[in-house]
Amino acid sequence: MKLKILFGAMALLSASSIAAQNFQQMPISSGFTSDVIANGVGSSSVSTTTDVDGVSFAFVSRDFQLNSSSTQLTYGLPIDGLVNSVVATTPGLSYKLASYDSNNSLRLASQNDSGTLIFTTPTPAFRLYMLATTGSGASTVTVTVNFTDNTSQTIPGVTVADWYDAAGFAIQGFGRINRANNTLESGNGTNPRLYQILLNIDPANQAKPIQSVTVTKTSTTQGYTNVFAFSADAYSDCVPPTLNAVGTLTPNSAAVSWTSPSGTSPASYDVYYSTANTPPTSSTTPSFPGLTGTSTTIPGLNPNTTYYYWVRANCSSGTSQSAWSFSGTFKTLCGPMTSMFENFDSFATGNIVPDCWARIIDTNGSQTISSTTPVASGTRHIYQYSSTTQNPTTVVLPQFSNINTGTNWLRFKARVSSATGTLNVGYVTDAANSSTFVQLQALSIANTVYATAASEYTVIIPSSVPANARLAIRNTADGKSYYWDDVYWEPTPSCLAPSGLTSSNVLANTADISWTASASAPANGYEYYYSTTSTAPTAATAASGTSTATSTTINGLSPATTYYVWIRSACSTSDKSTWWGSITFTTACATLAAPFTQTFDNGAIPNCWTNTNPGSTSANLLWKFAGSADYGANLSNNGRAAGTYAWVDASSPYNGAGANTVQLVTPSINLTGLISPYISFEWYKNHSTSTSTTVSPSSYDNNKLTVEVNDGNGWISVWSDTSNSNLWRTVGIPLNSSYVGATIQVRFTVDKNVNGNGYFYDDVLLDNVQVKQDPNLLATSEVSSAKNNIKLYPNPFNDVINISEIEKVKSVIISDVSGRVVKTIDNPTKEINLSFLNSGLYLVTLRLKDGGRNTLKVIKK
């Protein structure tokens, strides 16, 4: 395998440009004039002395709470005052804010206001970086840099941006607070802002330690200048070394060396390395400090891993430490592994395999890293293909030092383009020669997707495999495409998972599951886990239930809900297998109890409703559930509340014979408890005024809405209408006594082409469907009672009750006081035997032949 070795580019840059990356904070000993950062517990007016902007707003720390019970802020300035600049050109630059419990801002409110910040440790610098902002508009300042030799450098015309929305910020989105009323503002994660302002030090002054900085506001505008901190690119006369080409590489070490610039003789060198390309700062602890030579070997590295390294010089003068060099990089060699996981996502697509793997193509056939979907995880997987006249392709895995210990297995996920195919797992003794392939196991691949639990395959590797062998996976030359992903080389678990998990007898609240027994015969049986999300359980996930058999019933499920189920072996209280799964099932819809209401306000077909078109599956030829833009102005007419609804689209063309019937069916609804069942709904029908020459005959469809009821004995039409109104109308449909206590479904049908027209011109809208007690029952009873004056006697009664004027009565309904119907009698006689009733109060509803009703109370002794 060829490895690319990258070199540092130090020799191409000047010493001054290199040294200018030694970022150091400049702690301030005195000079701040105001506390503008609210912190701790209590009113912001107590923890600050003034505002930032002249109009009551101050900054806020992340630990601010108005009182001890206030919710912790999710924004604010860092509690420790450390601001890591996000400016891309100064990686590693940071600032340290002054204590939030004391003055922390040099605040300049008016023209010619001035203040001096004195540094704790005078430091020479190539550049200064000022952390500042302005409230209530931008401002301009003059900055005077004062050196320890009593000289100074004046930098006029420095612009300080307004604290909202300007570019060049070091930190943003830390919020603010109104000192007058303690109102907090989060700034939506982008405001306020503190800006990083570059101040270049003249070459003649770069070796001079900086004693202090004086800032004077020169602008006449309203902006309030606030200066918070300084950092520097520290000056050094000690130049960093230049990195040489990386020397000898092994799986666990790398030889690195460097050269100091001509004319310099550092006393020692520091080396720092990392797997992240994040430059060290002046405060970073070296990996190898104080090396006296110009080379070293970095030990203890991981195989096949990319590393970055830096070197700096320790000189003997007063400014004795150089900046870190530019980074060098290397990648260690491949070496034998004891474990591995590979999902191929870190590699490009193409005719390749990962580092430390090998591919064998004998003249023809295909093998690539592919992004063809679906993948098992991430974005990549291995692809192998050979026609029946081509040769199989072989993918060789890395070296494993424990390949012949008999303690590990190979685990991966696989799929085939069409069932069923075969992937062969074996080993080679020469990673460049397919003729050395020895097959260990032929895997029958039946799944065409990774989503099924059966897509994971395992092969236990025997101890008879040669120590120098490498595992390999070979496709079959059968014209099928093979994909595999998420490859593990890991210890074979002592507790093996079961397989073949299936579901059956799925009802509204229960489901049966069964599985194939584990080869490890688990002493503690099996554990199952189910969830309404597809997130797989982990080893620490508590089981939902257990079973000593290879099947069980899951109880307590919710109706019309999709569940995901996993199973694992429990070989002991602590030794569990991996989870096998998931499988998924959806529980059945439950029968709902009346009264029943559906408003369609979720913008989608409700659970357990059925949306059908016997002649078409096109979404345009079904009921829809989002509001139509055509009726925005009409949603609330007739006092109706606005919201979404079900509707059939007039713009959807007739689509051939049978495709014109659009049906919407409710779940099953039990009417027990309704003395007089009643269906109500709101509907809207729009008649188009447009014409079309393509319509023949040229008349508008008189589209019909039909309501039907099915109690298990077939669909019966109970209402239909074809009239247009361009208004919402409420319809109420009383059901006859034969439906009392029954379980029904209601179907709403729109015939989109009743006149044979080629297009449908009338939108039909439906909303607020209800199945309930007839709201007119009481009023009708009162009228009928007064009109007919029918009596029940004796009252109270023992077993038999009599009805006066029986010739006027069509049927009798007996209900208990809860409204539950206990008996219905059609064509009753004068004497009714109610001996089967328990003692108590009952309601007797008389349905009269003239359409009236009379409900009377009676008492059974």
- Superfamily of domain 237-331 in CATH is Immunoglobulins (2.60.40.10)
Write out pLDDT tens, residues 412-463. Answer: 999 999 999 999 999 999 999 999 999 999 999 999 999 777 788 999 999 9
- The three-class DSSP label of residue 430 is coil
């991996």: which residue's tokens?
578
- Using CA atoms, how far residue 779 sits from 785, 808, 842, in Å, is 10, 19, 20
| Start-to-end CA span in the chain (Å) | 100
**Comparing 40-49, 397-406, 449-458, 591-600, which segment has the lowest mean pLDDT?**
449-458
Percentage of the chain with pLDDT > 90? 65
**Is the domain defined by 503-586 classed in CATH 2.60.40.10?**
yes
Residues written for the chain: 861
Domain 592-775: give its CATH code: 2.60.120.260
User: Taking the model in full, what pTM does it have?
Assistant: 0.48
Closest CA to 343 of 523, 129, 236, 488: 488
Which uninterrupted H or E stretch holds 382? strand 381-385
Is 643's pLDDT higher than 80?
A: no
195-245 confidence digits (pLDDT tens)? 999 999 999 999 999 999 999 999 998 899 999 999 999 887 788 899 999
Cα separation, 537 vs 529, whole angstroms: 8
Walk across the sheet containing 184-185 and list its strands.
37-38, 57-60, 176-178, 184-185
What are the pLDDT digits (tens) for 107-156?
A: 999 999 999 999 999 999 999 999 999 999 999 999 999 999 999 999 99
The answer to whether the CB of 611 falls within 8 A of the CB of 622 is yes
DSSP β-bridge partners for residue 858: 842
* Contact criterion met (CB below 8 Å) for 76 and 61: yes
Radius of gyration for the chain, computed over Cα atoms and rounded to the nearest angstrom: 41
State the fold for domain 778-860.
Answer: Immunoglobulin-like (2.60.40)
Residue appearing with tokens 């069509």 = 810
Number of helices followed by number of strands (H, E) in the chain: 3, 61
Q: Decide if pLDDT at 321 tops 70.
A: yes
Residue pair 569/543 in contact by the 8 Å Cβ criterion: no
For 25-234, CATH number out of 3.40.1410.10, 3.40.190.10, 2.60.120.1380, 3.30.1330.10 equals 2.60.120.1380
Confidence grade of residue 101 (pLDDT, cut at 50, 70, 90): very high
Rounded mean pLDDT of the chain?
87
Instruction: Please determine whether the domains at 503-586 and 592-775 fall in the same fold group of CATH.
Output: no
CATH 2.60.120.260 fits 340-491, yes or no: yes
Question: Which residue ranges make up each domain of the chain?
Answer: 25-234, 237-331, 340-491, 503-586, 592-775, 778-860
DSSP string, 269-285: EEEEEESS-----TTPP
Q: Please give the Cα distance from 201 to 204 (Å, whole number).
A: 8
On the 0-12 / 13-18 / 19+ scale of CB atoms within 10 A, 114 is: middle
Query: Which amino acid makes up residue 417?
Result: S
**What span, in angstroms and rounded, lies between the C-alpha atoms of 552 and 363?**
53
